[in-house]
Amino acid sequence: MIELTEGNDATGEPEKRAAVFPMLKRKNPAAVALGRRGGLQRAKGGIEKIDPARRRAIASAAARARWAKKYQTDHD
């Protein structure tokens, strides 16, 4: 069920846009907390399994990518 909202407070003209379903925007806080906790545990476990040299290489590649993107946008 999509409804169109009417009226714009600033101009008084009708505004045509789909109303957002409020029930779809709400999330269960308990489920969000569990998902976040699981994700954090998974990331920590994954990092512990990688040897320090590989972690260093991953971090170096990530830093190079960040700096390359910054340099490219600043000097185009």
Distance CA 43, CA 37 (A): 10
Q: Is pTM, for the whole model, over 0.85?
A: no
- The DSSP code sequence of 19-43 is PP-HHHH---HHHHHHHHHHHHHHH
Distance CA 57, CA 50 (A): 11
Q: Taking the alpha carbons of 34, 38, 39, 40 in that order, is the dihedral positive or negative? A: positive
Q: Where are the domains of the chain?
A: 36-68
Written as six digits, the tokens of 10 are 């600033």
From first to last of the 76 residues of the chain, give the pLDDT tens digit.
Answer: 445 555 555 666 665 555 555 555 688 888 888 888 888 777 777 888 899 999 999 999 999 999 998 777 665 5
